[in-house]
Structure 1
């Protein structure tokens, strides 16, 4: 089922055209990853699909209607976005932040209803932030802050969730923490998730659908197996890469080994120094 599409989408910054004639479809109930080199236009596409930016031409269609012709409040009931590196006022607690997700449903300056409070509690619990609900955002770790922002987006109770590089600046453990949470939300709550992903192997592991962007155009689209190919990676990222199969999940993994067109010699295989115990050689 397809609810969200772009049709002939042109996006420009002043006079400079960034994206031209973009036509993509986002699978409902799946995780879609937008991948591409820095400056390829993937974040610009995400922001336009989430109605943060307006297109120069074309349309973003949700259930057959242009989202840019709908009111902000109505769109906010259908999709939520977590931008890159969001910030909160000093001292704002997790619960207070999550309560902002109920804004589209409030009338005037009305206070939170009983239903609002129940939904806020559900969002905090779903993101495993219950023990931090009264803690200020600026006192949380990076992974905890991301989970708090995701909880705010969940409190909007939208079917579609956009995220712009949700693991940026997080260490490996917190990256997995956030990605596994998104995977769980997709599986248990049937959320359609569209995210810009910097790490190709994360995209392959957690996304059902990948869209590779080069200079504002689609260079490859489909399942990770269809997109994670040497030819597409060479075109989009200008790298030479081996594609391996993850023995645990069966998804493709990218192992880059050279810049495309490079005449530099390939790295030589290193031999372990037999005089050094392996335990010491691999310890950090």
Structure 2
């Protein structure tokens, strides 16, 4: 079953089309990972699912209704998005940041209700951020900061979370910290999570559904065990790789060992007299500076 889906969705910026006639159904209650090379349309699709980017053609549907025709506040009660590298005003505390998640549920500029405060406290507790409630967001570590933003998304009380590269620029420990939190939210609260992921091994380990994109088109889709193959890696990423079961989790583990097609041109030679000699252009010599 799918509450969120696209129908003949075409997206782009100006005259540049990135996604054409996409038909995608997001499985309810699962973690779905969008994977693909840079420029494949992953983030563009996520923005459209979140109603940030309007379609050129077709549409995004939430519970059978066109999402781009629904009021912003109404959509925000069902969908929360964490964009790439979010920033907050200097000095903003964790609690203040998380409280922004209650905006869709407030009328005008009224004070926080009892329900609002309870949701804020719950979101901070669920993400392990209660102890940092009064700490400034810009004083936190990378993993803590990302958890604070996820807490804000949770405070919205939505059934669906959209995350654009949630582990970007985080070290390995903080990456696992964030991914483990998302896995916990999915398993314990049945949250539907759609995330753009660059690390293929994170995608296959933590997601139950993979969508592999190339040039705005879905080439492969399904469970990691079905999608994560050497052929998919060649077709989508232009790499040669072995795929083996992870010795601990059993999830497919990608071990790249080369490019399927080497796009790098021959490196020019440098002669003893410091001249650059370009392959196939032996008569075209450029003096190299020391």
Please indicate, yes or no, whether the TM-score normalized by the shorter chain is above 0.5.
yes
Instruction: Give the Cα separation in 2 of the matches to 1:80 and 1:179.
Output: 17
Is 2:15 aligned against 1:31?
no
Q: Deviations over 1:94-115 (max 9, x none)?
A: 0000000000011111010111
Instruction: Give the Cα separation in 1 of the matches to 2:224 and 2:187.
Output: 18
2:166 alignment partner in structure 1? 166
The structure with the larger Rg is 2
Instruction: Give the Cα separation in 2 of the matches to 1:225 and 1:190.
Output: 21
2:202 alignment partner in structure 1? 202
Q: Write out aligned runs for 1:205-284 (5 A).
A: 205-262=205-262
Is 2:108 aligned against 1:93?
no
Q: Deviations over 1:22-61 (max 9, x none)?
A: 0011000000000000111100001111111111010101
State the TM-score, normalized to the length of structure 1. 0.92
1:147 alignment partner in structure 2? 147
Unpaired runs of at least 5, structure 1: 265-284
Instruction: Give the Cα separation in 2 of the matches to 1:109 and 1:158.
Output: 21
Cα shift at 1:263: 11
Instruction: Give the Cα separation in 2 of the matches to 1:86 and 1:147.
Output: 12
Q: How many residues align?
A: 264
Instruction: Give the Cα separation in 1 of the matches to 2:242 and 2:188.
Output: 34
Q: Deviations over 1:74-132 (max 9, x none)?
A: 00000000000000000000000000000001111101011100110000000000110
Instruction: Give the Cα separation in 1 of the matches to 2:8 and 2:54.
Output: 13
Instruction: Give the Cα separation in 2 of the matches to 1:196 and 1:212.
Output: 10
Is 2:55 aligned against 1:55?
yes
Instruction: Give the Cα separation in 1 of the matches to 2:197 and 2:238.
Output: 17
1:130 alignment partner in structure 2? 130
Cα shift at 1:172: 0.0
Instruction: Give the Cα separation in 1 of the matches to 2:261 and 2:110.
Output: 61
Is 2:83 aligned against 1:76?
no
Instruction: Give the Cα separation in 2 of the matches to 1:26 and 1:59.
Output: 14
Instruction: Give the Cα separation in 2 of the matches to 1:154 and 1:52.
Output: 19
Q: 108-117 vs 168-177, which deviates more?
A: 108-117
2:180 alignment partner in structure 1? 180
Q: Deviations over 1:182-234 (max 9, x none)?
A: 00000111100000000000000000000001000001000001111111110
Q: Secondary structure at the match of 2:33?
A: strand
Instruction: Give the Cα separation in 2 of the matches to 1:149 and 1:22.
Output: 29
State the TM-score, normalized to the length of structure 2. 0.90
Q: 225-234 vs 135-144, which deviates more?
A: 225-234
Q: Secondary structure at the match of 2:3?
A: strand
Is 2:29 aligned against 1:2?
no
